[in-house]
């Protein structure tokens, strides 16, 4: 258990709150904590969607450089597994997820945001993968997820240079989905996923899995993943509810049960 990260649940939305002032630097304790809260958000029935939030000032300025400074190669061989596992755990939450970004999302902080489905940022936010200026490269999924999101050339520009991207550029290159005044970031992020509360959660889960797994494989295999998951939705009550509602009353919203 750690106080540095917690899951707060309200109105069907779980907020994963990073809480390590001043910069939410991601040390091993917070990384372990993220693993635990991602598992909790995954299993809790009262959580339909997730916001990852670092508070009003900063999202996260990356892995804890002070902790890493004295680590040897073999120390990092061991630790690098956790670095990838905690972002994998966030990416694997089978519910819509959004990063609510104020201030900085750098290095491991940007990688946490990349592991979410969506990113809502403050007008004055700065994102980037500045690891190169420390003589290292991103190690929590940045080289992979950034390239998949914005394309290889833009990812290489950001990772080779380590430069910070402002909100306007981040929106233009597809790194983020929405830019709002700083004071509205958390509310806007909640609004983005609130629409999934009370929805057909197993269909949303199948859609996320089809898209994410499909991106990792060739088209034929991806189509096969889609076909199996599509057919699987016919085993849910919500499929029956949605179709019966349409036939009886026309276009939704149907009274889904999340089952």
By C-beta, is 63 or 193 nearer to ligand CAA? Answer: 63
By C-beta, is 138 or 199 nearer to ligand CAA? Answer: 138
- Which residues, including other chains, have CB under 8 Å from residue 9's CB and lie 6 or more apart? 15, 44, 46, 47
Strand partners, 49: 13
By C-beta, is 25 or 229 nearer to ligand CAA? Answer: 25
Residue 131 appears among annotated catalytic residues = yes
As a whole number of angstroms, the distance between CA 212 and CA 208 comes to 6
Annotated active-site residue in 40, 56, 131, 216: 131
Residue 69 appears among annotated catalytic residues = no
Kindly state the smallest distance separating residue 51's Cβ from ligand CAA, in Å: 21
Annotated active-site residue in 32, 40, 111, 224: 111
Is the Cα torsion angle 140, 144, 148, 151 positive or negative in sign? positive
Strands (E), the chain: 5-10, 13-18, 49-53, 97-101, 104-106, 118-122, 126-128, 165-166, 178-180
Kindly state the smallest distance separating residue 116's Cβ from ligand CAA, in Å: 16
What number of CA atoms fall less than 13 Å from residue 85's CA on the CB side?
15
As a whole number of angstroms, the distance between CA 224 and CA 210 comes to 9
Q: Is 28 helix (H, G, I), strand (E, B) or coil?
A: helix
By C-beta, is 159 or 225 nearer to ligand CAA? Answer: 159
Kindly state the smallest distance separating residue 237's Cβ from ligand CAA, in Å: 41
Kindly state the smallest distance separating residue 252's Cβ from ligand CAA, in Å: 42
Contacts to ligand CAA by CB under 6 A: 22-23, 25, 61-66, 83, 104, 106-108, 111, 130-131, 134, 138-140, 142
By C-beta, is 139 or 242 nearer to ligand CAA? Answer: 139
Residue entry with tokens 């910070």: 164
Kindly state the smallest distance separating residue 257's Cβ from ligand CAA, in Å: 40
By C-beta, is 12 or 130 nearer to ligand CAA? Answer: 130
CB of 37 closer than 8 Å to CB of 16: yes
Kindly state the smallest distance separating residue 59's Cβ from ligand CAA, in Å: 10
Give the residue nearest to ligand CAA (CB). 107
Please report, to the nearest 10 degrees, the dihedral formed by the alpha carbons of residues 73, 75, 81, 85 taken in order. Answer: -130
Displacement of CA 132 from its chain's centroid (Å): 23
Catalytic residues: 111, 131
């Amino acid at each position: 258990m750690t106080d540095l990260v917690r899951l707060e649940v309200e109105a069907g939305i779980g907020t994963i709150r990073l809480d390590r002032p001043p910069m939410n630097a991601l040390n091993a304790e917070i990384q372990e904590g993220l693993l635990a809260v991602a598992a909790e958000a995954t299993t809790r029935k009262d959580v339909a969607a997730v916001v990852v939030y670092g508070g009003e000032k900063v999202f996260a300025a990356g892995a804890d450089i002070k902790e890493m400074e004295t680590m040897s190669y073999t120390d990092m061989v061991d630790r690098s597994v956790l670095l990838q596992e905690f972002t994998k755990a966030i990416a694997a939450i089978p519910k819509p997820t959004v990063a609510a970004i104020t201030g900085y999302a750098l290095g491991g902080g940007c990688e946490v945001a990349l592991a979410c489905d969506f990113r809502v940022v403050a007008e004055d936010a700065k994102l980037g993968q500045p690891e190169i200026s420390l003589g290292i490269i991103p190690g929590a999924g940045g080289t992979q997820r950034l390239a998949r999101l914005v394309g290889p050339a833009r990812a290489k520009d950001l990772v080779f240079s380590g430069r910070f991207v402002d909100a306007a550029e981040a929106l233009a290159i597809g790194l983020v989905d929405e830019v709002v005044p700083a004071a509205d970031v958390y509310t806007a992020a909640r609004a983005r996923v609130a629409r999934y509360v009370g929805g057909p959660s197993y269909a949303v889960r199948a859609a996320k899995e089809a898209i994410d797994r499909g991106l990792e494989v060739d088209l034929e295999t991806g189509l096969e993943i889609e076909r199996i998951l599509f057919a699987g939705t016919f085993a849910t009550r919500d499929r029956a509810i949605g179709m019966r509602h349409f036939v009886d009353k026309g276009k939704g919203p149907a009274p889904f049960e999340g089952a």
